[in-house]
Amino acid sequence: MSIHLEHPAHGVAMVGFGPSGRRLTYRTDTDGHRVTVHDDFGRLQLAFGGCGRGPGALHTPLDLAFVHPTFPGERLPLCGPDAIWLAVADYGNRRLQIFEIDGAHVGTVALDDQPGIGAPCGLTWRNPVLEIEGIEGAHALLYLSAALLHSTEHSGSIARRPRGWRQVSHLVN
């Protein structure tokens, strides 16, 4: 089964399974602090998140993007619903959260202590990195698989980047 992904607008991402398969639209709901999932007919299929600071809780999610990170020694499946995850720009909590497409929480990447990025506003998947747009137009590229596996504090210095670009822990040059 093939997967077709789209990111047609800020806060909207769509996934289609197979040429004539199921198509789902994921949307950020900033007022409800959640992500909603609708089918082709606009029927609500799933909602996840909810206002809070804990894992899986959201505070003003602004954007989302489907991602397909790879980890050394293992891979996500190449097709089917387990082949992709959903990255959510959790603006109010100043972090990035990763979910399976059924809303199960996978992990969190804190951005609040990263100079120049702060609260994430926009996301674009550029395999193998996730481009994060921060406040005031700042941009960073994040190796998502490294960020999810990383468990220690980053103590390195921040490298100079061309106008508006900053390196945060686990990011590429």
Give me the residue label for tokens 């639209």. 25
Question: How many residues comprise the chain?
Answer: 173
Residue 95 lies in a domain: yes
For residue 162, whether the previous peptide bond is cis, meaning omega lies within 30 degrees of 0, is no
- CA-CA distance, 71 to 139, in Å (whole number)? 24
pLDDT for residue 156: 36
Residue 24 lies in a domain: yes
pLDDT for residue 169: 39
| Distances 123 to 144, 156, 161 between C-alpha atoms, Å | 12, 24, 19
pLDDT for residue 76: 57
Contacts of 79 (CB under 8 A, 6+ apart): 1, 2, 3
pLDDT for residue 140: 87
The total of structural domains in the chain comes to 1
- CA-CA distance, 5 to 24, in Å (whole number)? 10
Residue 163 lies in a domain: no
Structural domain boundaries, residue 119: 3-149
pLDDT for residue 152: 34
Nearest to 39 by CA among 49, 28, 52, 26: 26
Task: Give me the amino acid identity at 19.
Answer: P
Residue 162 lies in a domain: no
Tens digits of residue pLDDT in 88-112: 999 999 999 999 999 999 999 988 7
Residue 54 lies in a domain: yes
Low-confidence ranges of the chain (pLDDT < 70): 1, 72-82, 113-115, 150-173
Residue 158 lies in a domain: no
pLDDT for residue 173: 35
**Residue 51 in contact with residue 58, Cβ under 8 Å?**
yes
- CA-CA distance, 89 to 60, in Å (whole number)? 9
Q: How many CB atoms lie within 10 A of CB 125?
A: 20
pLDDT for residue 15: 94
Residue 173 lies in a domain: no
CATH at 45: 2.120.10.30
Residue 140 lies in a domain: yes
Q: Which two tokens stand for residue 9?
A: 């607008």
- CA-CA distance, 153 to 155, in Å (whole number)? 6
Locate all alpha helices (DSSP H) within 114-168, ordered by sequence.
144-149
- CA-CA distance, 130 to 153, in Å (whole number)? 20
